[in-house]
Amino acid sequence: MSANVLIEKIGHTLVITINRPAQRNAVNRAVSMAIADALDRLDSEDDLRVGILTGASGNFCSGMDLRAFVEGERPELEGRGFGGLTEAPPRKPLIAAVEGYALAGGCELALACDLIVAADDATFGLPEVCRGLVAGSGGLIRMARKVPPAIALEYALTGNRMAAPIAQQWGMINRLVPSGQALTEALALASEIAANAPLSVMMSKRIVEESGAWAPAEIWDCQRPLVDSVLASDDAQEGARAFTEKRDPVWSGR
């Protein structure tokens, strides 16, 4: 694992920290590869149930490393996208813990996560138009799905920054916390999620993500086999037994 990305397992949660504070955690190709490896670990290890993506030293991510870009390096990975994430999110839930700047590609990384916990002085934005670029790593698509399209378009066309309290008002942020507390709150949220049945959590995420593309007449036919696969699991039986026996369930992930 690259020294530019730190990995820590805390309970059932994998914390992935971009660690380039001198560059405000700007992403180069090495960072993208390291994040992609960490996300593969998140999905492959049964004991891991939730991931958290964050940045070191008070900033989430300032976007693409422009110096590396000028020198000819691209941070996008084939089939994985920017940061090894934007085109191929993990099957398991991923939370962005945002302090400081989440700008350009950094904003796109946050938007590619399932949930966002942000400090009240954090800043989001897609300033690519100010640099002759386009937010082509999902920012234009995902922001317009999380906030009203006209609001997303205004920020995309002006390159203006969105303060975290405003982002929460538009529904882009799940939890707003005092400065310095984003990771702590993200870990608490991850613990709430990890307490639930792993198959149920992953399937719930999948249905929310995929259902937007289902034709209205096909919604129930599309959802039924996905739900049935969970109802047929050992954990479905365990959840029912635990409820009737008035005890906490012991999930097997099967």
Number of residues written out for the chain: 254
Which of the residues are catalytic? 108, 128
Its pTM stands at 0.97
The pLDDT, as a whole number, for residue 253 is 94
CATH number, residue 203: 1.10.12
**Do residue 57 and residue 156 come from a single domain?**
yes
pLDDT tens, per residue, the chain with 254 residues: 469 999 999 999 999 999 999 999 999 999 999 999 999 999 999 999 999 999 999 999 999 999 999 999 999 999 999 999 999 999 999 999 999 999 999 999 999 999 999 999 999 999 999 999 999 999 999 999 999 999 999 999 999 999 999 999 999 999 999 999 999 999 999 999 999 999 999 999 999 999 999 999 999 999 999 999 999 999 999 999 999 999 999 999 99
**Do residue 207 and residue 173 come from a single domain?**
no
**Do residue 177 and residue 214 come from a single domain?**
no
Containing domain of residue 114, as a range? 5-194
Compute CA distances 206 → 12, 31, 89, 146, 198, whole Å: 20, 26, 11, 17, 12
Instruction: List Cβ neighbours of 207 (8 Å cut-off, separation of 6 or more).
Output: 223, 226, 227
Question: End of a domain among 153, 178, 194?
Answer: 194
**Do residue 210 and residue 159 come from a single domain?**
no
